[in-house]
Amino acid sequence: MHDKQISPIAAAAGNGAGAGDTTPSLRRCIALLRSHTSLPHLRQTHAHALRTGIPLFHPLLAKHLIFSLISLPSPPLSYAELLFSLLPNPNIFTLNTMIRGYAESPHPFPALLLHRRMHAASLPPDSHTYPFLLKACARLLDLRHGESVHSLSVKNAHTSSVFVQNSLLHFYGACGLFESAHQVFEEMPVRNVVTWNSVINGFALNGRPNEALTLFQQVLDEENEVKPDGFTMVSLLTACAELGALALGRRVHLYIIKSGLYQNSHIGNALIDLYSKSGVAVDACKVFDEMPDRTVVSWTSLIVGLAVNGFGKEALKFFEEMEIGKLKPTEITLVGVLYACSHCGLVDQGFRYFNQMKDEYGIVPRIEHYGCMVDLLGRAGLVNKAHDFILNMPLEPNAVIWRTLLGACAMHKRVGLGEVAWSRLIKLDPGHSGDYVLLSNLYAGGSRWAEVQKLRRSMIKGGVKKTPGHSLLELGNKVYDFVMGDRSNPETDSIYEKLEEIAKRLRKEGYVARTMNVLADIQEEEKETALCYHSERLAIAFGLMKSAPGAAIRIVKNLRVCEDCHLAIKLISKVYEREIVVRDRSRFHHFRDGICTCKDYW
DNA sequence: CTAGGGTTAG
């Protein structure tokens, strides 16, 4: 049987390839296959064929196997089920290997199908199966399936394996259930470094860096063999970056240097990201310069980091340097490059990069790249061109694309086109509160109050809730969270007094609140108050109260800064002689002496 | 055959 390698697909196509070398045993198998009408019989025949030396996917055999399979009363339709059916003796080893393959592949879903098939075939998983299954569940964020795997492992008494426990930790962390993760953690008798990393990462991913850092302290304190490694550091840095917790991040950086982990390129990349996301591009560059092994990710992180901080030109310079170094950019690098162009108004240059993506770098533009181009045109005020660009895209425009256009319309007060984008958005992503806010601002900018009211009513009717804005401020070792109207901070009264004082000083500078963007469900005189209490104002007031004179104030906000706050913060930076850095949903604003690095273009 | 890490348009 010295067959040339012929793909199973060719075999399934049934063109008779390889038919010339039929042997008696193969002919017998095929005859058997045709006479059987149940899965076990098919498997037996397949096993018999393999025993006589016929390859697993011999074209003729595969063709008849598949034919017999799809002729069964209830044919297995998914690829995983087909494979499962084809296995002559599906034992737990082969199955685990297959589940692992799927769990690590770009499409992990068949791993779960195989699990169902195992269950149906009464083949119980062993202690090796759960980590693979949980990995697939974590990657698919399939909470229900993961929980059922958990209870199954309990039922089968397989939870004593530290591998299973660590996988459970990772799964719960990835799905955002850090309470469940923590519970598993608490019940573990033996913990290794992976255990600690999984639970730390679980907190870090869920915006709880304080808990992550407390656990880190615990690992250091506990008199055991567990030593934090590179994975631990990346988790901690990611947590700090997420919240812009610069001081905490710097402490982790010190530990990294002390423990000799600084040569790890993953850590270097995480540090670049931390400093970029904390608004200190200089330090990001410094880390980059000192890195012994720079990968594409390092370059990409720096390019994106510089771009969001308003250093578009510098970002592009690094990209050119990367090209000279013959390092091949990834699609994410190009997102960064286009992003840099759009935030600096470099329309022509952006188009040059976009047009040569495929020929020059071998990267086929994805929807993200098209999104950047819509943003590039829209920001520059070429709103009609942006619309034409969308209509001529080879990809189906998604909600983000239309949202970008709506944002550009709101920025440039183009009601008609904004309504076109809106009509797509309510079909593609109904109930997205940010879209209501954008359209409302667009109407309000044109003083179309009747439409604003109408929109407001449909928002209430549809149960669409505005995402509450909140701002984070790091002071000392703590990250404070401010929400509009929230009075849970024990110093609320003095914060509001401070706001009064700020308002007085700003008015002396000639500041008049721009109330038009406030959703019009409140009275005119209340609008100004509402603006004053936007979460970033509370955070800034608190920062002014609590930090040393002249110290920079860093804020991270979950939404975009409104026009009014942007103006007010510019003035605050001048009047109080403070550098104020605000990380927005979309970029950085560095306020100093009454101006912002975004040049009012954001 | 078993577990964990970095960059992604608004």
Q: Provide the pLDDT confidence category of residue A415 given band limits of 50, 70 and 90.
A: very high
Domain ranges of chain A: 8-86, 366-466, 470-596
**Could you write out the DSSP letters of every residue in A471-528?**
EEEEETTEEEEEETT---STTHHHHHHHHHHHHHHHHHTT----GGGS-SSS-HHHHH
Q: Residue A492 has what pLDDT?
A: 87
Q: Residue A188 in 3-state DSSP?
A: coil
**Across all residues in chain A, what is the average pLDDT?**
86
Lowest mean pLDDT: which of A193-197, A217-221, A317-321?
A217-221
Angstrom distance, A281 CA to B7 C1': 15
pLDDT in tens, A508-553: 888 777 655 555 444 544 555 566 678 899 999 999 999 999 999 9
Q: Is the CB of A601 under 7 A from strand B?
A: no
Q: CA A419, A422, A426 angle in degrees (round to 5)?
A: 145
Lowest mean pLDDT: which of A67-71, A137-141, A270-274, A332-336?
A67-71
Percent over 90 (pLDDT), chain A? 44
- Fold for the domain defined by A366-466: 1.25.40
> Which chain A residues in 53-92 sit with Cβ < 7 A of strand B?
92
pLDDT in tens, A124-156: 999 999 999 999 999 999 999 999 999 999 999
Lowest mean pLDDT: which of A299-308, A316-325, A583-592?
A583-592
- Mean pLDDT confidence for A418-428: 94
Angstrom distance, A129 CA to B3 C1': 12
Q: Residue A134 has what pLDDT?
A: 96
pLDDT reading at A10 higher than 90: no
Whole-angstrom Cα distance, residue A40 to residue A447?
74
pLDDT reading at A297 higher than 80: yes
pLDDT reading at A36 higher than 80: no
A205/A408: higher pLDDT: A408
Whole-angstrom Cα distance, residue A212 to residue A252?
12
Q: Which nucleotides of B are covered by protein (CB under 7 A)?
A: 1-10
> Which chain A residues in 499-558 sit with Cβ < 7 A of strand B?
none
Q: Is the CB of A267 under 7 A from strand B?
A: yes
pLDDT reading at A4 higher than 50: no
b/e A492-520 (16+ beta carbons within 10 angstroms → b): eeebeebbeebbeebeeeebebbbbbbbb
Q: Residue A1 has what pLDDT?
A: 34
- Mean pLDDT confidence for A494-500: 90
Q: Which nucleotide is nearest to A135 (CA to C1')?
A: B3
Phi, psi of A243 (to 5 degrees): -100, 0
